Structure 1
Amino acid sequence: MTVPTPAAVRRAPKVLLHDHLDGGLRPATVVDLARSAGYAGLPTSEPEALGTWFRDAADSGSLERYLETFSHTVAVMQTEEQLTRVARECALDLADDGVVYAESRFAPELHIEGGLSLERVLEAVLAGFREGEAQAAAAGTPIRVRALLTAMRHAANSREIAELAVAYRDRGVAGFDIAGAEAGFPPTRHLDAFEYLRRENAHFTIHAGEAFGLPSIWEAIQWCGADRLGHGVRIVDDIELTADGQARLGRLAAYVRDRRIPLEMCPSSNVQTGAAQSVATHPITLLKRLRFRVTVNTDNRLMSGTSMSREMQLLVDEAGWDLEDLRWVTVNAMKSAFLPFDERLELIEHVLKPGYAALGA
């Protein structure tokens, strides 16, 4: 068992599948964009204090309250220049943290208040990712960033967003997602979009099993056909632990494990929204022990004041993870990425495995 130092965790190559673009802005960028756009809704214009406000506001224990914080970031992401800057900084910040591959998700429909079309929103974001990739490569920290297009659960635009994802899948879009409050908005409301994506051989993930339980997970998989589950933390409700520490899996949990359905788990975010009590007791550690296809993610770096290095370090410090655990979940994530098989294999064999081998040595 090799317990990595914080420096080793920082250097470790990382793969990120669940990260919201509008939840990862730099506080200073929010302040700067708000000032130039004339947006007066921020609770403070001091960057450090604003970062603290976002974290405190997100620490409510409620997913609905957590989601309210996005009104401020979305407000300063309404022009092509704003979107490109945010996307560029996203790629640079992730690369600086050791992320070598990332899928960054956002909802184009939230960024058209300034008159942009959905296509112009997407193209501005993709341009920012490409700029960030080029700058990161020049700095010696190469990264590849692809977009996931999100439709909002409470809205009726999912088919249009799904069609946009398919139209741009060869131009930087990895797949599709739905997000927003789970309760009252089941994924089956968007069956038309999911059936269209399956006909087009397109990839999609679904936020499920975070604020709502097993029925949300079951619908996402069995009705909608999700390739991955966003969070999926409530799958533990279908696992019974016996007095001697053995685990009895229910039918749904066994199906998720048998089919190797990836779980995009976000420890700090889940603690903030009340989906988990602490990082130490987060279900990710049990699910790792039971060999579910778990991955580690940030969710919203601004709201959680986090990074991939921080999420990994918390699991080391509070849940007893070692270097092999971090390597295993990172390879899991790369196996689960919405990227062609040969490209995934190239990163696993020539970036991830050598990187962790060097840290272990």
Structure 2
Amino acid sequence: MTNGESSKNGSGGGWLAEIAGDILSGVVVGSSHSRWFVKNWCETNLIRPAMRLAGLGGEEGGDADGGDDKPGLKVIGVGYGRTGTYSLTLALDQLGFPCLHTQHLYESPEIFNMWARNVFTPSLEAGEALMGEPDFELIASRGWRATTDLPMALYYEQVLEQYPDCKFVLTTRENSDVWFRSWDMLTKTITQPTSHFLWMSHVQNLDKYFRWLFTFVNKDTKYFEAPYPLPDQIKENAVASYEEHNRRVREVIPEGQLLEYNVKQGWEPLCDFLEIEDCPTTPFPKTNSARSVQIQAVAAMVIPLTIVLFILFYLFSSAFQRTTGQTVLQWAGERRRRILNSLAKKEVKRREQVELNRKGLKTE
């Protein structure tokens, strides 16, 4: 085998491995979202009300135990979504900075409710994307030492004022067009499952977040009132928002506290910036690709739908058995036998008729 053939086969294997990794990641993350939505809905609408009725409390608890040690936020990822924010999240986790990404909000109802209460709901009521006053101490008190992705990426000035020693990582893409293509794909994908589950309180918060976020990024209030599917992103406005945000971050954050970073650069720049002596030798995390995000959206819809259909079928089959004395499968099997017997009898009669017709022709 030539070197060229070897390289080609190797790249093919890498391509297949990447696809397999995206599929696995998409299914795992998507199913995780579904599990948390169902879990949170059950806790909010079934378990806690039942506990309150029984006099057992049932109030909403915290997301994590921050203990007595509350050093505050140490690292803030200030890049827009689709700039490698989730890969950065996994890297910061590995470096010892528990990191809150927007995807974790599904698993942190107290923090998600804070964002809805302090920012998203007032914005919808006012008809404009307000910044509000998010509670950074709440986030820090739940054990998080870092955050990435929107909305937290927008609050670098407030965080710098409250935590003057905090460090900031501005993740970027190769250029604005590359960013917008990825951003546009994401916004179309992540909003698809939302419209089907708006009866769940936690999905309602997600709906408010999407409307607030798209209004902020696109500088257009039509997203507040528009039905699903939400309007497409406005490229000119979104790109201008992305570029202005990055420019403003570079202007506001002191030079020694800001790292402008592309996750393709790997561990070294990040470790140097955060003064990590034992930099990992494992591959830098690579996740949340466009393909993976699309699979997440499908998994987030298909898995709960499958569960709902299974529950409905179980209830129907139980009622059917009590009514008819047969299981659905027994009834279906009996119907199948009857149909087959009927078809067989018709076939016998047809053949007999054909034979009679043949004999009649011979007699003539």
Using structure 2 for the length normalisation, give the TM-score. Answer: 0.27
Larger radius of gyration: 2
Q: Which protein is richer in strand relative to its size? A: 1
Structure ranking higher on relative contact order (CA contacts 8 Å, 6+ apart) = 2
